[in-house]
Structure 1
């Protein structure tokens, strides 16, 4: 089968013929239809410092996908050939304290699809049945392909109740924009998203944010004044991983404000901890999705009319992967999709 492979410890990916993966009694073999390009995939392609520490070559990359079940193992009872499925890309041990308590998203032994084991940028991928999400209601294939990052957005956005609240989102990447759509759908009063990319801010406007703010030209304090906010934002969703964004968010939160942080900083940085203490700010770190509560929330949001189509800005055949990755790396696009269904 064809697959995108990090073949050697150097920049780039190769489209190669590799053996079709074998599935065991508890596994599901999936024919891949669409995949989404993630920032993780960009790091692996660039072979940056993180990738050099995390990746053992050769490796089939990719973890965002939708596909059709081609075969199931003898012990699989709740997934059938022909089902349309996406996959939870965090494979957990099932034996640690958190797994046994039902907190699988907190498993300390998590292995990432397309990072710690062969992934989904291929004609076929294998997952344990316990990691397979069956789409029981109608969903667009491109949207189904990005359920993984949509889950990151939902997990972050629903960390704190947003009904009637004023929400600040720093970072208008695809996940930040999806989170904005979620909190707007969930009844937030004002939703402000910040970035320096005019293209991404325009995508954010298409999902209905109250204000898409270019922080290279305006401050968050300006946004508060424009919206008539007197005491700051109730909820912050930090999606950028940028030190200046975190500091600006802290400066513009109301006392008792709550912040969910998904953005991953490249390095350590200082913040004003006295402000966090004195203003009684709650900060919650977010990684991945709650298994599978977040997935149920995603399905219900889509069934309820949440429209993610503005977030998808490009679709390529898998043979054109270099052009697709180049566009995804510009930091001006939304989600980029690879089509594996010839």
Structure 2
């Protein structure tokens, strides 16, 4: 099989040939048809995550090697199944849930594999979707997407479930309570669309890109704010005239997290999602006096993805904008370069030439 791996030493993308795996037990082998591109893959290609004054967290600390077959937004067609597979059959087109844990700890047994401390993410620790095939360890991680556009369905496995899980940490709130979404890229746009589908009527989108804000308004944002490097609580309040009850920060760098902490209403909820890096210095007295709830949110669990797919099938969820490229060595490289250069609005999905 062919894979398009990232080599962290020089940040190159190279085609790699290997033997196509044969599934056993509950394993399922898919021929990949669609593979979404995520901003976190940029950090993976770089080989580290930015921890602000604490330096960098290497991929090795997360159980990844010097080369990684990334790609965790995967739709594919079943080509072979292990002997213990019951519900999936050859020819099925399915969405992959990639956020696997050890399967044995209390978090995994509680259905929260994304919170496992021994991650086995498909597209991270396990080979992912920048390839022509992927081996899924258990049929339970495969979801039926019948009736959905497979290119859009692929994005539900990361941008969709990440935003859905973050929203679940904010709601319930009254429909008119202001919720700010910082970062209107692919994940932020998904959040705005999901909030709209869930009946929320007061969403504020903040972004550095005018085109992203236009897409946010089309997805249901009721207010937009064009940020720059000088944006602060004062400039946002001056433009909008209010503070939000909740903030979901899909950037989560030093500037946006500080802006959010200063801007949030007393008793508000901050959910930090993005992996852009930096740090938030919190005055402990203000944390107590403002009674802020500060939470981290990382992707989502299998149950949440299942709920989201059903919401998408209901027709209530607006389809996020998707652009396309080839699932190839050049396609992976070009998509990551464009994403890093902030030349992409919405999501990018690579399509196999099968």
Is the TM-score greater than 0.5?
yes
Contact 2:258–2:280 (8 Å) recurs in 1: no
What residue is the counterpart of 1:193 in the other structure?
Answer: 205
Contact 1:7–1:57 (8 Å) recurs in 2: yes
Q: Please give the TM-score of this superposition, normalised by the length of structure 1.
A: 0.90
**1:263/1:58 CA distance change after superposition, 3 Å:** closer
Q: Deviations over 1:296-330 (max 9, x none)?
A: 234314423312232x1343352531322222222
Which of 270, 294, 297 in structure 1 is aligned with 2:281?
A: 270
Contact 2:98–2:141 (8 Å) recurs in 1: no
What residue is the counterpart of 1:283 in the other structure?
Answer: 294
Contact 2:253–2:278 (8 Å) recurs in 1: no
Provide the aligned length of Structure 1 versus Structure 2: 339
**Whole-Å Cα distance in 2 between the matches of residues 283 and 56 of structure 1?**
32
Greater Cα offset, 245-254 or 95-104: 95-104
After TM superposition, the structure 1 = structure 2 runs for residues 1-342 of structure 1, keeping only pairs within 5 Å, are 1-6=1-6, 9-48=9-48, 50=57, 52-53=59-60, 54=62, 55-149=64-158, 150-159=160-169, 160-162=171-173, 163-216=175-228, 229=242, 232-264=243-275, 266-310=277-321, 312-321=322-331, 322-333=333-344, 334-342=346-354
What residue is the counterpart of 2:51 in the other structure?
Answer: none
Greater Cα offset, 266-275 or 49-58: 49-58
Contact 1:137–1:303 (8 Å) recurs in 2: no
Contact 1:158–1:183 (8 Å) recurs in 2: no
Larger RCO (CA under 8 A, 6+ residues apart):
2
Q: Deviations over 1:1-53 (max 9, x none)?
A: 22102357321111232221232211000110010111232223344565553
Give 5+ residue unaligned stretches, structure 1.
none
Other structure's SS at 1:65 match: strand
Contact 1:27–1:127 (8 Å) recurs in 2: yes
**Whole-Å Cα distance in 2 between the matches of residues 238 and 15 of structure 1?**
35
Give 5+ residue unaligned stretches, structure 2.
49-55
Contact 2:37–2:348 (8 Å) recurs in 1: yes
CA RMSD in angstroms comes to 2.4
Q: Please give the TM-score of this superposition, normalised by the length of structure 2.
A: 0.87
**1:151/1:101 CA distance change after superposition, 3 Å:** closer
